[in-house]
Structure 1
Amino acid sequence: MNRNLTSQQKNAVLLSMAQLIAAEKAVIIKANKIDVESYRGEDIAMYDRLKVDEEKIEGMILSLQQLIADVDPVGKDLFHFTHENGLKITNKSAPFGTVLIIYESRPDVTVEAAGIAFKSGNKILLKGGKESLNSNLKIVNLWHKALIENNISTNWVEYLNYNRAKIQVFLENPTQKVDLIVPRGGEKLIAFVKQHATCPVIVSGRGNNFIYVDIEANLNLALKVILNAKTAKISACNAVDKVIINSNLIAKETFIKKLINKLLKFNVEILGDVELSAFENVSSFDSDEIWFKEFLDYKIVIGTVNSSEEAIAKINKYGGGHSAVIITKNDKTANTFMESVDSAAVYQNASTRFTDGGEFGLGGELAISTDKLHHRGPMGLQHLVTNKWYIYGDGQIR
């Protein structure tokens, strides 16, 4: 397998893949229909991620087109130094080598992740969930066609059709070199991978995102943002699960009643702290442990705090390190909040739903990392590289 493909070769494969997906759209949807009809679970987030329709097909094609247009991340000069003895020292970006992604549902990841890995010079091992097997195998077959059309080895994209026991054995004793693993799914999947992996793991962690409504919030804006963040796509890790409201907010009671009514129109189950559970249609909860939970469902927790400092502390204690929002007209308050909250993405006056590789201009994403090494937040094309040192001399010794 030639590890040194040119940008032109890589783009040619991506273009072939985009054309094949467009041509085979009906076949992909037909394969996906088998998966959807076979799914017996009651997890509505899983079902939403599993289903492939015309819109998702268009999203797959768009992600490939964006990758083609993006700059090749490999071989980029990062640092130069000339030693006093004449050595010329350069640091350049380089591929990891082989990346394994383990994911649940989401057949679109089979396109997006493989595209990002391939353009960044990495071989990818794909391990999708059994619920999306037919969809994934069809898409991998198209990847192989795209590679063959361009006289490039199909080894660049490999699907691991393993059950849980077999993938555990592979994680503990890989039958080929694996340089990086990205688990993309629920907390049980992430814990399983971290427990058994023998190489570095980048965690695409839970959301459990917070919105804080400050004392100086535009309340109409707050309603719009909360409703979008909660209800637009409940299966997304960038959906909001928790809202905290400043107790000193003017017209607080009116605002809370409006928020409750709007959420009820979307059949959102509302849980509240002691103050909020006094409102009609809000249930109380037994334990503060609920503040830790990611719902991926039509469910939300609302509470109050006495200050932005208290809001920051609560988010840093309970949040998933993914996304956090402050709704305020006060830029100074917002800046303090954004610098103090320990999340990969922090917002002023906008929905958490924008934490996404495509929305951030990355041309799709491999995952959204809630780790801090080696990257944090949406991982796009430019982030799936490591670095390598090149030293040029003429006989220097130390």
Structure 2
Amino acid sequence: MKILSTEKKNNVLASMIKIIDAKRDKIIAANKADLEAFQRDDQALFDRLVVNDAKVDGMIQAVREVMEQEDPVGKVISKRNLNNGLEIINQTAPFGTIMIIYESRPDVTIEAAVLAFKANSKILLKGGKEAVNSNKALVECWHEALEENGLTKDWIELFTLNREETQEFLRNPTEKLDLIVPRGGERLIAFVKEHAQCAVLVSGRGNNFAYVAEDADWEQAKKVIINAKTNKISGCNALDKILVDEKLPDFESKLKDLGKSLADYKVELLAEQELLSNIDGAKEIPSEDSWYEEFLALKALVGKAKGLDEVIEKINKYSGGHSATILTTDKSKAAKFMEQVDSAAVYHNASTRFTDGGQMGVGAELAISTDKLHHRGPLGLEQLVTNKYYVFGDGQIRD
């Protein structure tokens, strides 16, 4: 793949900013057609589908931020001169071709493509059928920006394949794929991992936990929990499970307080059987499966905790490995929680909603990775490259 100059890439992004702004009415109209065709049986999916002026402004800002970031390609990671005279330089290099498969959110069409392009990779966008009109309008903007700067459209391609066609493409790709990122629920991730013939980087599943320790500042803990649960229910960083330590002073009255506070935000609550009498309106947890479930809804599960060790074990068993927070005034307890909970992001006295590229200072993100290879957390520009060794010699041979 041709390595583009930083200037060339930034010129494309500058064109893109102007084109998106000029065509915002067309983009919003295309999105309106998607919204009208959508059956509103999944509120979280519908929320992610919406494109309005604020969303378009966010797309423009994402492109601008990436344009202003340092080019991640060709950066020296290490340099060594060996005794045998070899000079070995390890530096960053493009992946090649990245495919992202995602549901609903049309803004991913901008954020994923801008990151891949600035990282000098070709990207194949496989959006959901519910956003087909929005995605087509946005990819038209990309193609105009590319052609305006003398580049071919194939740097950024939109696939409108159905499930069977996608399955066949994953099994027998018509071009070389270097990385696939499924951004969505567990069914999508399992589907891609089953059929893909190249590396798959898992992203998207949340099922995040909060642990209220016995020494938590209650009002602070309640504020964090409400924000993590209600700020954006469709986010993969939203809170689903709340574990309250049984040694929390006034345990029963605080459970009632928490239940009432969440009910004020119309959050449906599930609770362990022994806690039902303390949480008005809560329903009993139907099965163990609920502990594994990512709700993506105004819904939360409340359980009793019997100390930090049990909490760590439970989170590591049931969570999606995305985000978890401990609410405590004890810094040593927080340190143990943060070291031993196996999640991409761990928090002390803060909302899980901060697991986001922009909020963490990474900038626009391709996804939130819950994999351990090659990176966990927000996949920003710096994480969308691989590496390559350059070895310079003068006739050296190995004995």
> What is the TM-score with the length of structure 1 in the denominator?
0.98
Aligned-partner Cα distance in 1 for 2:385–2:368? 15
Question: 1:286 offset after TM fit, Å?
Answer: 2.9
Residues of 1 paired with 2:342 and 2:324: CA distance?
9
Asked if the contact 1:211–1:243 (Cα under 8 Å) also holds between the matched residues in 2, the reply is yes
**How do residues 139-150 of structure 1 correspond to structure 2 at under 5 angstroms?**
139-150=138-149
Q: Which residue identity lines up with residue 226 of structure 2 in the other structure?
A: L
Distance between the aligned counterparts of 1:92 and 1:275, measured in 2? 57
Q: Distance in 1 between matches of 2:273 and 2:327?
A: 23
**DSSP 3-state at the match of 1:101:** strand
Q: Partner residue of 2:380?
A: 380
Aligned equivalent of 1:38: 37
Q: Which residue in 1 is equivalent to 2:113?
A: 114
* Residue equivalent to 1:296: 296
Which residue of the partner structure matches residue 359 of structure 1? 359
Q: Deviations over 1:254-286 (max 9, x none)?
A: 221221111111211101012321222111123
Q: Corresponding residue for 2:155?
A: 156
CA distance in 2, matches of 1:289, 1:46: 22
What residue in structure 1 maps to residue 327 of structure 2?
327
Does the residue aligned with 1:337 lie in a helix, a strand or coil?
helix
Report the counterpart of residue 136 of structure 2 in structure 1.
137
> Secondary structure of the equivalent of 1:92?
strand
Q: 1:4 aligns to what SS in structure 2?
A: coil
| 2:71 paired with 1:72 | yes
Which whole-Å CA distance do the structure 2 matches of 1:301 and 1:286 have between them?
11
Match of 1:285 in 2: 285
In the TM superposition, 1:52-63 aligns within 5 A as: 52-63=51-62
Q: Deviations over 1:74-120 (max 9, x none)?
A: 11111111111111001001011000000000000000000000000
**Which residue is equivalent to 1:305?**
305
**How far 1:289 moved relative to its partner?**
2.0
Q: Which amino acid in structure 1 is aligned with residue 193 of structure 2?
A: K
Describe the SS at the equivalent of 2:302: strand
Matches within 5 A, 1:192-203: 192-203=191-202
Residue 176 in 1 paired to residue 178 in 2?
Answer: no
Give the superposition deviation at 1:205: 3.7
Q: Structure 1: which amino acid aligns with 2:69?
A: D
Closer, same or farther: CA 164–41 of 1 in aligned 2, 3 Å: farther
Q: Secondary structure at the match of 2:180?
A: strand
Larger CA deviation: 42-51 vs 282-291: 282-291
Letter in 1 for 2:138: I
> 2:155 corresponds to which letter in structure 1?
W
Q: CA deviation at 1:361?
A: 1.1
User: Match of 2:185, as an amino acid?
Assistant: G
Q: Residues 145-173 of structure 1: CA distance to partner in whole angstroms, max 9, x if unpaired?
A: 11111111211101111111111111000
Correspondence for 1:88: 87
Q: How far apart are the structure 2 equivalents of 1:8 and 1:197? A: 34
In structure 2, C-alpha distance between the alignment counterparts of 1:247 and 1:392, rounded to whole Å: 63
The alignment's C-alpha RMSD in Å is 1.0
Specify the alignment match of 2:350 in structure 1. 350
Separation (CA, whole Å) in 2 of partners of 1:335 and 1:73? 33
2:273 partner SS: coil
Partner of 1:242: 241
AA aligned to 1:195 is E
Give the Cα separation in 2 of the matches to 1:85 and 1:224: 62
Give runs of aligned pairs for residues 257-268 of structure 1, distance below 5 A. 257-268=256-267
Give SS of 2:253's match: helix
SS at match of 2:182: strand
Q: How many residue pairs are counted as aligned between the two chains?
A: 397
Contact 1:275–1:303 (CA under 8 A) maintained in structure 2: no
User: Cα offset for 1:290?
Assistant: 1.0
Partner of 1:59, secondary structure, is helix
Contact 1:216/1:249 (CA < 8 Å) preserved in 2?
Answer: yes
Taking the aligned partners of 1:348 and 1:265, their CA distance within structure 2 comes to: 25
Please show how residues 217-256 of structure 1 align to structure 2 within 5 Å: 217-256=216-255
Deviations 1:14-34 (A, max 9, x none): 111111111111111100000
Identity of aligned residues (%): 54
Which amino acid counterpart does residue 170 of structure 1 have in structure 2? F
Give the Cα–Cα distance (whole angstroms) in 2 for the partners of residues 147 and 276 of structure 1: 59
Query: Using the alignment, how far apart are the partners of 2:60 and 2:352 within structure 1?
Result: 25
- Structure 2 distance, partners of 1:84, 1:223, is 61
Query: Following TM superposition, by how much is the alpha carbon of 1:41 offset from its aligned partner in structure 2, in angstroms?
Result: 4.5
> Aligned equivalents of 1:36 and 1:308: distance in 2?
45
CA contact 1:270–1:282 (8 Å) conserved in 2 = yes
Consecutive unaligned residues of structure 2, counting only runs of 5 or more, are none
Using the TM superposition, give the Cα deviation of residue 305 of structure 1 relative to its aligned residue in structure 2, in angstroms: 0.9
The answer on 1:395 being equivalent to 2:395 is yes
Distance, in Å, in 2 between the alignment partners of 1:28 and 1:223 is 39
- Corresponding residue number in structure 2 for 1:187: 186
